[in-house]
């Protein structure tokens, strides 16, 4: 009997949306060959099933187990290439998502994998760094630091050992692109780390993956084994080992120096800088710590040239922005587009507006430390500089949309309680400030606060912004103070009269 090949995503969110249920229901069918792939990131359409056709893949969306007969009959499909959410994107880093099996080294190479590494092997380490400089790539984890500068410092610092560390502690709520890369295209991360390793002269790499991502952790372990077996884990004939290390639920371990402390097995407490990790990082050796998405962006830059990357985006933000849309919109999912579209355009064109019956109240960009935007503020272009100018952050690209049922006072308390829980305790402004701020917000909720308490909250926030050791304390006041500024009635109506 001819088995019909069906493609079904194996991504955590696809499975949580029902893909796993389909796989269970259809696994024993003799007329079906199920191929588990990465996800296209159009999660509002998941579980999504695809079939090959002469004109490319066909998709069935929001599939239930008993939809199988019409899928096998070929009824009711849409060509994947015509799904607007996907067609309107500029997929480079995420180009093969949805098409390939994550752990197939053959599929990776068939879709252009290893071209960047091969190009990097043909040139000197200095030339690799020059290519990254030409690309004008800035770190995608949140700090947006020029990648080539870190690499140059690490490359020119003399040491007996050097390290490459992928920051996979994707802790910003509302973000999931690193999880998708590790689950769906893990060799891209490995390739980026190998290129970095050659550029700086490193002998070993680590992927510090948050404990909340068990599937990504398992996927990376398997991918490293497969890469090892394929003979990929070497640089200029010398072994380059890559190891996955699990975090243990600490948000601040996403900060690069806290991450290094944790990687050494200690409390994930922030280190004072300088020295920067590129000079003195893991075990005091030069270390490049970059976000997973940053490493995953590198292979294409080497394969297609720095100028290609620099040709996309805005003046200060070159290349593509990887946004992760969630909350009360119609179409949540992963979006890769050149920098420069406005936040409103992203919400309209990709989010397709609010979920049924919901009205927009606020949008938070860049995780729990990101500023809140109201409807009137949505015309801001998605790029590092415009966000910096607005005292906001693009962070890791998370966009969370809140509807008009949201209690902004409770959201503020929720955010400040998160920071108070996660503060590593090293510096006083963050450790005490976040706790006091949370207490003030709880006093407002209890109807016991006065104007003086709100003034204290603002003052406390200003101190935290100016005097905290890392971004956790320094950014924590922004969403809370912007909520107070944009929605004053929700706070002031709760004051003691």
Three-state SS for 23? helix
**Using the rule CB under 8 A, is 85 a contact of other proteins?**
no
Smallest gap from residue 12 Cβ to other proteins (A): 6
Per-position x/- string for 368-397, each x denoting binding to other proteins as judged by CB under 8 A, each - no binding: x-----------------------------
Query: Using CB under 8 A, which of 60, 163, 402, 491 touches other proteins?
Result: 402
Phi, psi of 262 (to 5 degrees): -65, -40
Of 37-45, 341-349, 463-471, 486-494, which segment contacts other proteins by CB under 8 A? 37-45
Smallest gap from residue 225 Cβ to other proteins (A): 19
The closest of 165, 162, 134 to 148, measured between CA atoms, is 134
Smallest gap from residue 179 Cβ to other proteins (A): 4
Of 192-200, 233-241, 309-317, 407-415, which segment contacts other proteins by CB under 8 A? 407-415
As given in the structure block, the two tokens for residue 123 are: 């040139």
Environment class of 63 (CB within 10 Å of its CB; exposed 0-12, middle 13-18, buried 19+): buried
β strands within 154-240, DSSP E: 163-168, 204-209, 234-235, 238-239
**Using the rule CB under 8 A, is 212 a contact of other proteins?**
yes
Query: Using CB under 8 A, which of 170, 191, 256, 453 touches other proteins?
Result: 170
Q: Where do the H-state alpha helices sit in 157-207?
A: 177-184, 186-200
Of 156-164, 198-206, 243-251, 387-395, which segment contacts other proteins by CB under 8 A? 243-251
**Using the rule CB under 8 A, is 365 a contact of other proteins?**
no
Of 146-154, 184-192, 207-215, 225-233, which segment contacts other proteins by CB under 8 A? 207-215
Q: Which residue has the tokens 């606020």?
A: 362
**Using the rule CB under 8 A, is 328 a contact of other proteins?**
yes
The closest of 433, 417, 416 to 425, measured between CA atoms, is 433
Whether 153 contacts 279, CB under 8 Å = yes
Nearer to other proteins, 212 or 345 (CB): 212
**Using the rule CB under 8 A, is 284 a contact of other proteins?**
no
Rounded to 5°, angle at Cα 89 from 315 and 52: 150
**Using the rule CB under 8 A, is 487 a contact of other proteins?**
no
**Using the rule CB under 8 A, is 403 a contact of other proteins?**
yes
Smallest gap from residue 173 Cβ to other proteins (A): 3
Number of residues located near other proteins, criterion CB under 8 A:
62
Q: Which residue has the tokens 């305790």?
A: 425
Nearer to other proteins, 46 or 185 (CB): 46
**Using the rule CB under 8 A, is 366 a contact of other proteins?**
no
**Using the rule CB under 8 A, is 102 a contact of other proteins?**
no
Of 28-36, 66-74, 168-176, 220-228, which segment contacts other proteins by CB under 8 A? 168-176
**Using the rule CB under 8 A, is 91 a contact of other proteins?**
no
**Using the rule CB under 8 A, is 218 a contact of other proteins?**
no
Nearer to other proteins, 194 or 253 (CB): 253
The closest of 42, 28, 29 to 87, measured between CA atoms, is 42
Environment class of 96 (CB within 10 Å of its CB; exposed 0-12, middle 13-18, buried 19+): buried
Whether 167 contacts 253, CB under 8 Å = no
**Using the rule CB under 8 A, is 480 a contact of other proteins?**
no
Three-state SS for 406? coil
Nearer to other proteins, 144 or 259 (CB): 259
DSSP, residue by residue, 289-357:
EEEHHHHHHHHHHHHH-HHHHHTSB-SSSBSEEEEEEEESBSS-EEEEEETT-BHHHHHHHTT-SBPTT
The closest of 363, 370, 336, 350 to 172, measured between CA atoms, is 370
Binding site for other proteins (CB under 8 A): 12-13, 15-17, 41, 43-44, 46, 170-176, 179, 211-214, 216, 245-251, 262, 264-269, 283, 324-328, 332-334, 364, 367-368, 398, 400-403, 405-406, 411, 414-415, 418, 421-422, 424
């Amino acid at each position: 009997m001819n088995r019909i090949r069906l493609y079904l995503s194996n991504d955590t969110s696809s499975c949580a949306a029902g893909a796993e249920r389909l796989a269970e229901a259809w696994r024993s069918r003799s007329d079906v060959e199920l191929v588990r792939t990465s996800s296209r990131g159009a999660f509002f359409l998941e579980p999504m099933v695809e079939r090959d056709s002469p004109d490319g893949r066909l998709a069935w969306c929001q599939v239930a187990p008993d939809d199988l007969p019409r899928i096998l009959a070929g009824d009711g499909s849409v060509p994947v290439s015509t799904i607007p959410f996907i067609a309107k994107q500029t997929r480079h880093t995420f180009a093969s998502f949805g098409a390939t099996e994550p752990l197939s080294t053959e599929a990776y190479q068939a879709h252009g994998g290893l071209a960047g590494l091969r190009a990097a092997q043909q040139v000197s380490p200095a030339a690799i760094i020059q290519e990254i400089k030409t690309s004008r790539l800035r770190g995608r984890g949140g700090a947006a630091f020029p990648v080539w500068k870190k690499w140059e410092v690490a490359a020119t610092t003399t040491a007996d050992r050097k390290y490459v560390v992928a920051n996979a502690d994707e802790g910003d709520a509302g973000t999931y692109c690193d999880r998708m890369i590790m689950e769906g295209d893990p060799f891209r991360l490995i390739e980026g780390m190998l290129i970095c390793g050659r550029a700086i002269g490193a002998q070993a790499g680590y992927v510090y993956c948050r404990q909340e991502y068990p599937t990504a952790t398992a996927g990376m372990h398997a991918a490293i084994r497969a890469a090892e077996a394929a003979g990929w884990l070497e640089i200029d004939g010398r072994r380059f080992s890559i190891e996955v290390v699990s975090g243990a639920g600490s948000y601040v371990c996403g900060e690069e120096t806290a991450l290094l402390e944790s990687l050494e097995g200690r409390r994930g407490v922030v280190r004072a800088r300088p020295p920067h990790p590129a000079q003195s990082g893991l075990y005091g050796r030069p270390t490049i710590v970059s976000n997973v998405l940053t490493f995953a962006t590198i292979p294409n830059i080497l394969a297609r040239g720095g100028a290609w990357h620099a040709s996309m985006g805005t003046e200060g933000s070159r290349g593509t922005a990887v946004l992760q849309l969630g909350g009360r919109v119609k179409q949540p999912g992963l979006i890769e587009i050149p920098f420069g579209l406005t936040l409103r355009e992203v919400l309209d064109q990709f989010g397709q507006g609010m979920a049924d019956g919901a009205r927009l109240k606020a949008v938070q960009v860049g995780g729990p430390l990101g500023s809140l935007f109201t409807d009137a503020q949505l015309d801001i272009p998605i790029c590092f500089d415009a966000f910096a100018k607005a005292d906001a952050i693009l962070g890791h690209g998370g966009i969370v949309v809140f509807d008009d049922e949201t209690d902004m006072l409770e959201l503020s308390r929720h955010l400040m309680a998160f920071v108070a829980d996660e503060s590593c305790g090293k510096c006083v402004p963050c450790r005490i400030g976040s706790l006091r701020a949370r207490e003030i917000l709880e006093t407002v909720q209890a109807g016991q606060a006065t104007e003086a308490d709100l003034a204290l909250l603002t003052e406390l926030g200003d101190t935290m912004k100016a005097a905290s050791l890392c971004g956790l304390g320094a950014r924590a006041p922004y969403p809370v103070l912007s909520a107070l500024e944009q929605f004053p009635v929700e706070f002031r109506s709760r004051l003691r009269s």
